[in-house]
A and B are shown apart, each in its own frame.
Chain A
C-alpha cells in the first residue's frame, strides 16, 4: 500500500512557510507587529505571498466555493 508520506525532518521549508507564515489564526489586538506587516517585509517571500493565480482559470466554477465546504 502506497502510504501517505510521513512527515520527517526533511519537510521542505516551503511546506512550513506556506502554513506558518501564511496561515494560522490571525488576531488583532495589542500585538507588537501586525502580522500583515510580516507579509510585506519578508523580502524572500514576497513572491510567495503575491503568487500567481494561474490556477484560477483552470479551477473552473465548481471550485469557487470549495474552500469552506463541509462534507
Chain B
C-alpha cells in the first residue's frame, strides 16, 4: 500500500427510502447512506490505491479486477433495489469527500426526486435479439415466392444467363433477409414497448464482445411496471415462439436497476 493512500467516496445509487445497509456488508464493504434534503446517497469508502484517476486507469485493463468490481457494484445496487426504488449510478462515480456527495444531493435534489418518483414500482428488462442468418436464409429459399421464382428461372436458363441470374438471386436474398430481420426486430420491439412504460434501443454489440456465433440484431431495454409484468412476459413468450423457427434468439434478462432510464442529461424540463 502506498503511503499516500487516502479514502475516496464511491457512490452506488440514490434512494428516497433509507435502505438497511447493515445487510449489505457481506463482502466486507461498509456501505452507508449520506442524507440530504429527503434523499440518500448510498456510498462506501474506497481507496485511492484503486480509484484515484491514475490508479483506476491502471486497473481498468485488468479484466478480472473490472469484473469483480463491476459485479460488486451491480450486486449492491440490486440488493438495495430489493428494498426500494434506486437511481443507479455509473461504475466508478467517485468523490473526494462526503461533503461533495452532499453537495450533489442538494444541487440535483428536485431532479433526483422526480426521477425516483418516475421509476417507482418499475424494473428494467433487457432484450437482446440474435440472428442466425444462415438458418433464416434456408427458410427463405424454401418459402419465399420471389426467391423460389428466381431459382426456377435459373434452373431453366442457359449457363451464361444462369450465372447472372444467380448473382441477382443472391442480391435478392440479401435484401429480403435484411427486410425480414428488420421486420421481426421492429415488431418485437414495438409489441414489448406497448407492454412497458418506456423503451429504449441501444447500439448492437459486435461479435468480439458478445462472443456468440449469431449476430446481435437488436439491443433494447424496457421499463416495466409491476402491473405490466404479466402482460410483458406473455408477449415475450409469444414472440419467442413465433420467431424461434425463423433463426431468431430472443435473449431477455432482468429485473435490472433502471440504468437505461435514469438519465439526467438532455433533461429539457430543467428551467426551474
Contacts and interface: CB of A to CB of B under 8 A. Distances in A.
A37 B255 CA distance: 28
A1 B238 CA distance: 10
Contact of A52 (B206, B255, B262): B206
Interface in A18-71: 18-27, 29-33, 35, 37-38, 41-45, 47-48, 51-55, 57-60, 62-63, 66-71
Contact of B205 (A18, A37, A71): A18
Given A38-B56, A38-B60, A44-B61, A23 B90 contact: yes
Given A43-B61, A69-B198, A55 B217 contact: yes
- Interface size for chain B: under 10, 10 to 19, 20 to 34, or 35 or more residues? 35 or more
Contacts of B254: 4, 7
A2 B244 CA distance: 13
A19 B259 CA distance: 6
Contact of B88 (A13, A15, A24, A55): A24
Contacts, number: 205
Main secondary structure of the interface of B (DSSP, over half): mixed
B262 to A, nearest CB: 5
Interface in B51-68: 51-53, 56-57, 60-61, 63, 66-67
A20 B74 contact: yes
Given A30-B95, A37-B53, A48-B209, A15 B126 contact: yes
Q: Which of A25, A53, A63 has the most CB of B within 10 A?
A: A25
B146 interface: no
B260 interface: yes
A69 to B, nearest CB: 7
B208 interface: yes
A4 B186 contact: no
A20 B262 contact: no
Contact of B240 (A2, A22, A37, A38): A2
Nearest to A55: B204
B264 interface: yes
B236 to A, nearest CB: 6
Contact of B90 (A18, A21, A29): A21
Given A5-B252, A13-B67, A51-B203, 17 more contacts: A13-B70, A13-B71, A20-B70, A20-B88, A20-B259, A23-B90, A26-B93, A27-B93, A30-B103, A32-B52, A32-B94, A33-B51, A53-B203, A55-B218, A66-B193, A68-B200, A70-B198
30 contacts: A1-B237, A2-B237, A4-B254, A7-B255, A15-B253, A19-B74, A20-B70, A20-B88, A22-B90, A24-B90, A25-B88, A26-B89, A26-B93, A27-B108, A27-B264, A32-B96, A35-B92, A38-B56, A38-B91, A42-B61, A44-B63, A47-B209, A51-B203, A53-B203, A57-B178, A58-B178, A58-B182, A60-B182, A60-B186, A62-B190
Interface of A: 1-5, 7, 11, 13-27, 29-33, 35, 37-38, 41-45, 47-48, 51-55, 57-60, 62-63, 66-71
